[in-house]
Amino acid sequence: MISSASFRDFETYLTAIEKFTDHELIPAEPRLEAEDRVPEELVARMRELGLFGISIPEDFGGLACSQEEQVRLTMAFTRASAVYRSRFSTTIGLTSQAILDFATEDQKRTWLPRMASGEVTGAFALTEPDAGSDAGAVKTTAIRTGNHYVLNGWKRYITNAPEADLFLVMARTDPSSQGSTGISAFLVPAGTPGIEPLPAPPLLGLRGSHSTEIRIENCRVPLENLVGGVEGRGLGAALRGINSARTHVAATCVGQAIRLIAEAVAHARQRQQFGQPIGEFQMVQALLAEMQADMLAAKALVLDVARAFDRATANGTALPFPDIAAAKYFASEMVCRVADRAVQVLGGAGYIEDNAVTRMYRDVRLFRLFEGTSQIQQQQIAKAMLRSD
């Protein structure tokens, strides 16, 4: 695995990831789609390159990349299928960041180095049939009995559940509580009796990424697996991971848009109609220009938010939650517009399955839904605006 000392500087590392994307990830996309999984040799390469540890501090074996650096890396490797990112995204964002900020020192030492190396894949188990955007509606319970908690409930849409080595489970330790109070976070190793990921359902897009339901039935978890050793802090831990993940999702949308634009431009140069490349026609040029302007606006916003994230982390101040929501909202809406225009540029070829643009058109639709729908982001942005003087 790459360590922080094994590349001269960040730009050198970024170049290595760009080459990995161009020479290994993009060429393997047809196989990824056909096999409905990320090939194990590519997962091994991700570990070797340190991608599981980009957000984890050096003290725990990670690369300690800043949020801005993480965003730039994400834009690089998500020029390839976003499924590759999903294989390690739940580790670098949702689970590791909650552990980093809320877990005990022993919990950090136990899990973060193994996450950074890629030995452990984390899965974030918050969403339920009746709890998603309304995270405070969690019904999974964790009842203390002696030296254990007994967990019972049902989780839904849990990315990497079949591949996970560790589940970060949100459960209600105070059954009489309502809303966000009384919800705690638990570290539950895969294979613990009583926690069972169900078979992965077919997805509209992102084939090869597995998002499943999890049955939790009389799952006994030792007291020391309560995150931070304190009840009632589960939603705080969840939000720490979610806001990091939303920034990564926004960057992913930019990376996907960059690739879509490249595919559309290549087609516009090659496809001949009326004796000339279709890129010579002004209406096609207008589509390309709109795509490029949209992507550049999102890229600038995401980078600006990542820098604000870093400043808040360095100063110990609150993360820029409304700006993170704005970046996730704008970028996810942007990439869907770009994908639609890319299909339009390709014409009939854009509606044929054996095509990167067609696949990505399916893939990017998810980004307006997960880590908070566009409507939830709009609500959070507007509420912050109305609270401001």
Q: Tokens for 379?
A: 């609500």
Q: Helix, strand, or coil here: 249?
A: helix
153: part of which helix (H) or strand (E)? strand 148-159
Report the helix count and the strand count for the chain, using DSSP H and E: 12, 9
Angle at 370 between CA 87 and CA 31, to 5 degrees: 35
196 tagged catalytic = no
Query: What whole-number distance in Å separates Cα of residue 325 and Cα of residue 312?
Result: 16
Helix pair 234-270, 282-315: axis angle to 10 deg: 150
Total number of residues shown for the chain: 389
Q: Tokens for 264?
A: 């559309």
Query: What whole-number distance in Å separates Cα of residue 214 and Cα of residue 44?
Result: 26
221: part of which helix (H) or strand (E)? strand 211-222
The one catalytic residue among 68, 69, 213, 371: 371
Query: What whole-number distance in Å separates Cα of residue 67 and Cα of residue 52?
Result: 14
Query: What whole-number distance in Å separates Cα of residue 184 and Cα of residue 50?
Result: 30
Residues that are catalytic: 371
